[in-house]
Structure 1
Amino acid sequence: MDVSGKVVVVTGAASGIGRALVEALLAKGARVAAVDLKVEALEALVARVNAGERLSTHELNITDRAAVRALPAEVVAHHGAVDAVINNAGIIQPFERVHELSDEVIERTMDVNFFGTVWMVRAFLPILLQRPEAYLVNVASMGAFLPVPGQAIYGASKAAVKLMTEGLYAELMETAVKVSLVMPGAVATDIAANSGVTMGDGEEGAEAGEGYQALAADKAAEIILEGIEDERLHILVGSDARLMQLANRIAPKGSIRLIQRKMRDLLGDA
């Protein structure tokens, strides 16, 4: 899809990859509906991009089904249509073993990463299906195919997004709606802070582990938009994601051991 002139909804739009996507989309001539929880960050985004009426902002918790159901009408009221949705919003969990996590953390991780994406898909697909050309993009993670110790529930939530997105690709193959699944490796964002997770130094590269340099958010956005333009099903973001996907396919146990060795210090003693 050529995004120029298209109306694109982006969740998690006020920081990290989401903000970089908004800026890149506007630079390519798109109109953008920026969705985020934090109203102050959305206001800062408006001032940062200075895009006038081509940018609308929507304060929204994607786990609120009623609010999500009302969002398409709000976007259409401002922009006149919706051509694409990029479900980027997500959180990580504290670096703890599954049995150490609270029920509330487990539920919140699944609610934001998986169910929030589900509610957005269900709200916007009827509109997208009416368009002559449309696009649905769900952002998962390298953790969707490679288990990271201390992020098992996060990985499970993103694996659910992965399989659902691939199912949507199959369901929508004979329609005008194209589907892509984004699987980033380590990207320099504020996801840990936004998730309420304290990790100390080096948190931006935490998902990939020590030895990988986190990719800049604007570079990640560039790769994602190139994947959309090429209509790729799987968009791997970062050399670590590409390398670990290959390693996991060739030697599943070995790739898991490699990640475990790199990440075990974050978990402490069993």
Structure 2
Amino acid sequence: MKDFKNRVVVITGAGSGMGRAYAVEFARLGARLALNDYDADGLAETVGLVEGAAPAVVSKVFDVGDKATMNSFADEVKAELGDAHIIINNAGVGGGGKPVWLNSDDDYERTMQINFFGVVYGTRAFLPQLLRNGEGAVVNVSSVFGLVGTPNTSDYCAAKFAVRGFTESLMVELQTSAISVHLVHPGGVRTNIAKGVEGGEEFTAKYLKTDPADVVRQVIRGIRSGKQRIVCGHNSFKLWLTSWSLPLEKRNRLLHGELKALMDPEHYDILKGPKA
């Protein structure tokens, strides 16, 4: 798909960061927008930014991990704008931010429900609309942490690896269709994804440097060209190269050394064994 004028583009997590940047860019390209976010104020702000540019805008505040509401959103989009042409499953949360033994079951369940099942629900709710149109694109946002495992992010990495597996399977299933499928692995993009996560401020300052609009433009170029894997953002190429070029043992040592400064020593005292 190369022309987005009057195409219906659905964007989850549109209240800030990359989701907002997708909305602004697709509005500039003349698309009709269906926007979601859990943050009502953030979503309203995004709607205010794009209403003058996009031919039509609908929005709905809900948690993408709620399957029934995602399905009803798809029905509302069809009723108000027509069948969707592009679904961008962008919404996500940062995870628990602790090592495996300190994360709670709730951390894992919440992160998987939003970051993985939100992608599954969004894809499955809107894919029939793309198929009815006979053209379209599914854009699922993983992460560079869907390429390598990193400390204090086991719930986040698990979800983003799952998005990768789900999306790569979908690519093969739709290989002979007119629907293109794109898997995005953003690196350090300047968003609020780490807000509220333990150590998030330090992580944000050190690693989240790329303007979201730069990533969005690369994704749009990928949709136009049919590129299936899109790796972009600060340090993304280095992590992608590391993910396949190094033996696992060497890769893990390298990642531990790179990220050790962000690992709270108190969280890792248990590794020293019982105290005398």
The aligned residue for residue 231 of structure 2 is 236
Q: 2:231 & 2:135 partners in 1: Cα distance?
A: 23
- How has the CA–CA distance of structure 1 residues 67 and 204 changed in structure 2, closer, same or farther, with 3 Å as cutoff? same
TM-score of the superposition, structure 1-length normalised?
0.92
Matched ranges for 1:173-192 at <5 A: 173-192=175-194
8 Å Cα contact 2:188/2:234 also seen in 1: no
Please, which runs of 5 or more residues in structure 2 have no aligned partner?
269-276
The aligned residue for residue 8 of structure 1 is 9
Q: Please identify the structure whose Cα radius of gyration is greater.
A: 2
Q: 1:62 & 1:201 partners in 2: Cα distance?
A: 25
- How has the CA–CA distance of structure 1 residues 185 and 124 changed in structure 2, closer, same or farther, with 3 Å as cutoff? same
TM-score of the superposition, structure 2-length normalised?
0.90
Q: 2:197 & 2:264 partners in 1: Cα distance?
A: 16
Q: 2:249 & 2:8 partners in 1: Cα distance?
A: 43
Task: Tell me the matched-pair count.
Answer: 263
The aligned residue for residue 215 of structure 2 is 220
The aligned residue for residue 102 of structure 2 is 100
Q: Give the residue type in structure 2 aligned to 1:223.
A: Q
Q: 1:265 aligns with which of 254, 261, 267?
A: 261
Q: Does 2:204 correspond to 1:204?
A: yes
Q: Which has the higher contact order (CA 8 A, sep 6+)?
A: 1
Q: 2:242 & 2:165 partners in 1: Cα distance?
A: 20
8 Å Cα contact 1:169/1:178 also seen in 2: yes
Please, which runs of 5 or more residues in structure 1 have no aligned partner?
none
8 Å Cα contact 1:37/1:61 also seen in 2: yes
Corresponding residue SS for 1:130:
helix
Name the Cα RMSD after superposition. 1.6
1:105 positional shift: 0.7
Q: 2:109 & 2:200 partners in 1: Cα distance?
A: 24
8 Å Cα contact 1:32/1:56 also seen in 2: yes
Q: Give the residue type in structure 1 aligned to 2:199.
A: M
Q: Which runs of 4+ in 1 moved over 4 A?
A: none
Worse overlay, 29-38 or 42-51 = 42-51
The aligned residue for residue 30 of structure 1 is 31
Corresponding residue SS for 2:260:
helix
Identity of aligned residues (%): 33
8 Å Cα contact 2:88/2:140 also seen in 1: yes
Corresponding residue SS for 2:107:
helix
